[in-house]
Structures are given as C-alpha cells and as structure tokens.
Structure 1
C-alpha cells in the first residue's frame, strides 16, 4: 500500500473535469440523480474510492479471487467491470496485465477519459438496461461495491447479463461489504442504522449481500459459487489497516451529501451530525472493535 499517495497524486490530473449535471433543471432532480448513483462525484469522494480500492486489495491480497491470473498474464484476456466508478480497479489491472484488454461501464463518467492505458476503455451506459456487448464476449466479468445500489430485481437481471456476456469457461465475480454489528458501539450503530433506513426507502435490500451467493446459484449456466470473506476491525484497535478503513469511513460520513441525507434521517441538524462524527465516533472507535466484513463470490460459466 506504499504507493497510494503517489498513485492518487498522479490520478488527480485525470479527474479535474467532473460533470456538474448542468443539464438537470432543478436541484431536486439533481439530488435524485446523484442519489440514484449514490456516490458523490467530487474530488474527495473519488480519492476515497481510490484509497478504498487499495484497502480491499490489501485484505484479500489481490484484486480478484477468480482463478484467471494465468490467462491475464498470457494475454488476449478480455475483462469487464460494471459499475466501475472512478475506474481504480481497472487502472490497477490494466497497468499490471499489459497484454490483456479491460472495459469499464458506469452510468456516470467519473472515470478518467484521457489519461489511461491503451488497453483500457471506459463506456458510459446504464447497466440496469442491457450491457452493450455481444454474448460470450469476455473471459472475466466483475462487479464490486454495488450490493446496496441495486434492488433485488435489478440484481437478477444484472447477474444474468454478466453471465450472458461471459464466455463459456470464463469467470464471474461479485464483491461487496457487509456490516455485521459485531463489536460496534452505539454511535457507529446509529450511523449505520440511518444508512439502512435511507437505502430502504429506495427499495434496496440491505441484507442482500448475506445471501447473494444463493441468488447467484439460481442463475442458469453457472457452476459452483465460491465464497471468500475477510473481516477487519475498524479503528485503532485494528492496527494500521484499522486506521485506514476508519479514515475512509470518516471521510464518507463527513461528505456533504452524507451529512445532508443522514442528518435528516436521524432528525438532527447537519452541524450536530458532523460533531457526532468528528468527536463522538472518533472517541468510540478507541473503546470498541467494530468488525467490517468484505466478501467475494465467484463462479465459472459452464461450458456448452
């Protein structure tokens, strides 16, 4: 993880021109669009996504768990990442596996559009409609961090699309995060209860990540679904990596959109919410050991 700061410094030049949604007429429409996408598109939020990528790579000791690396090294391997966001996962892989080809799809173009490897292409598209690719086009299809973005019905469609565009014998991998309320304190739990309440209003199943592998197994043309799970203690009691995920979480909680939305859910002022995060939550982390769980599911598309 020693190269995080230099990587982010290099990438800042690629994300200066972030869309401001000028064509959306009202502020309410703008907020609805942003909420649909969920993640803010300001520079701090994109930097947080970059840092979070390196955190996940560290705890899993790799960018993926599917047995696809030999093919990536050999070359001519085609990889798809849907909901690619700032594109950090793809940028990392495209630089490491120069002889393979990488494609990222997202509804908002916050990914770098000019400074990127020649073997990487980003496409702006709504993945809840239909992926803009032919059947059996990719050796590896990947989606991460979207378990609290899509509704259960959307997940059924997205999984079927991932399978459709993956070659027989290729791999599909889904990754996400869940909070098990293990070792947390009342402040941290209050914050995440507010997040769950906010997302539930958008018909998001906040428990979906717990059984997403079962939903995966119900899809046709799919082999055994493998599950890999890692947990980390957030905060100083989790060591250096615990402080990293604490900083990422605090950065999220103190973002403008999060403060606005969650303060309304809890029923307090934005200033009160910010004080709780910057003072009470920091102090609570010193006394507690909340466990954060990250999970990956992967499976092979069956040969015809």
Structure 2
C-alpha cells in the first residue's frame, strides 16, 4: 500500500492511526468538513473537503487502497451504484476497496429494541436512505467489475453484559438515538423525557437479552485483464 483514501473520514482518527503505523504510505481523508484534530496529523496524512455524492475530485487510478466505514446513513439508496463505481474509478489497478457497513439493526431484542429498529429505518426514508441497501454492497462491487470479493461478518455486542466492548456498543447506540432526538420529537412525537425513559428501558433490555449489531466487511480488488 502506497496511497490510501478514507471516504467520510469523520474525526480522522482511523486515518491518523493508520498513517502513524505506515509511515511509507500517503493517506488522504475526505469529508464534507475538516476534522477538528488537524494539528495532530502525521506528516504523511492530509485531509480534503468534498461531497462524495458529487464525485471524487481525484483522477482515475489514484489510490491502491480505498476505504470507508459506516457511510450507510450518508448515501441515498439510488446513489449506491454510482458511488461504488466511483470508488472503483479512483482505485489503482490491483488495488483494494474495503467497505465496513451495518444496517444498524439490533438483534436479540424485545419491544424496545424493535421500536429502535423501526424508528431508525423510518426516520431515514425521507432522506432517500434505505439502511438495508448495504446488503447489496457485494453485488454492487461485482457490478463495478471488481474481483476477489471477500466478506467477513462480526457480531458487535451492545450493553454492560459484554464488558468494555459492550459498553462501547451501548455508547454508539445511545449516540445514534441522541443524534435523532429532534426527529423523534417531530416525526414520532417523543418528548425529551420520553426519550430518556426509552433509553433507560432499552438499556435494561439489551443487557437482559444480550443484544448485538451485525457488521460486515466487504473487500474487493480492481484487477486489470
């Protein structure tokens, strides 16, 4: 790996950690805003502002590793084919594309987990986002003429029942709910107090039922025949 791009880089932490571990590789992070930690970035790391839904501002074959993680909420269903083809375009011959994704659906749930799943998907529909679109990532990669497709699946626990990893899983889940508080009020009619009660009961439920998220890692290679 000599040149890597991270799409939807967010805080840039993943990119900066990778840059620190691979000093001989150039890393580029792209998002609609710059991360707040630019003063911490290694010398082989840079950030750029761009909207990935409007195309990537790089020539063909620019990177030998194209990476994204958890972009499901940012990509409308109809844009997925275009987006994957764009990733393939900037990927260099024999380079790899890796996409880490989840539908965001909780498994092993009761009534409150089911409500979370329903609301999570319902609130995205007005944005044209179908969270189940990521189930088609492998097919999209094949349609973009990528090869050597590999898929790995991981169960990410949510709740104190699973120790530190579970606590982090719960922190992510709570953050997801907090991020859509205003939509829960507007679309579902939940007050701030209602949300707090819901989170308390959901927390009890995920620990009792040992809930988890499913995350899939899709990798494919751009071969030139």
TM-score (norm 2): 0.93
2:123 counterpart of 1:202:
no
Using CA pairs below 8 Å that are at least 6 residues apart, which structure has the higher relative contact order?
Answer: 2
Match of 1:5 in 2: none
Q: Would you say the 8 A contact 2:104–2:131 is kept in 1?
A: no
Question: Per-residue deviation at 1:181?
Answer: 4.4
2:40 counterpart of 1:119:
no
Match of 1:166 in 2: 91
Match of 1:177 in 2: 102
In 1: Cα distance, 2:207 partner to 2:40 partner: 41
Aligned match of 1:230 in 148, 154, 158?
A: 154
Question: Per-residue deviation at 1:106?
Answer: 0.6
In 1: Cα distance, 2:107 partner to 2:129 partner: 22
Q: Residues 128-147 of structure 1: matches in 2 within 5 Å?
A: 128-147=53-72
In 2: Cα distance, 1:282 partner to 1:291 partner: 12
Deviations 1:77-131 (A, max 9, x none): 0001111111111011001111110001111223533331110000001111121
Match of 1:292 in 2: 213
Q: Residues 66-77 of structure 1: matches in 2 within 5 Å?
A: 71=1, 77=2
In 2: Cα distance, 1:131 partner to 1:198 partner: 28
Q: Residues 42-121 of structure 1: matches in 2 within 5 Å?
A: 71=1, 77-121=2-46
In 2: Cα distance, 1:201 partner to 1:211 partner: 20
Q: Would you say the 8 A contact 1:83–1:106 is kept in 2?
A: yes
Deviations 1:213-270 (A, max 9, x none): 11211113x11321111013311333331122112222332x3x42211233322212
Q: Which has the higher strand share?
A: 2
In 2: Cα distance, 1:124 partner to 1:181 partner: 33
Partner of 1:303, secondary structure, is coil
| Structure 2 stretches lacking a partner, 5+ long | none
Aligned match of 2:183 in 261, 268, 279?
A: 261
TM-score (norm 1): 0.70
Count residues in correspondence: 225
Over the aligned positions, Cα root-mean-square deviation in angstroms equals 1.7
Question: Per-residue deviation at 1:288?
Answer: 1.3
Runs of 4+ that moved beyond 3 A: none
| Structure 1 stretches lacking a partner, 5+ long | 1-70, 72-76
Partner of 2:68, secondary structure, is strand
In 2: Cα distance, 1:126 partner to 1:211 partner: 22
Q: Summarize the Cα distance change of 1:111–1:78 in structure 2 as closer, same or farther, 3 Å threshold.
A: farther
Q: Would you say the 8 A contact 1:185–1:290 is kept in 2?
A: no
Bigger Cα displacement from structure 2, 228-237 vs 105-114: 105-114
In 1: Cα distance, 2:18 partner to 2:106 partner: 33
Partner of 1:204, secondary structure, is coil
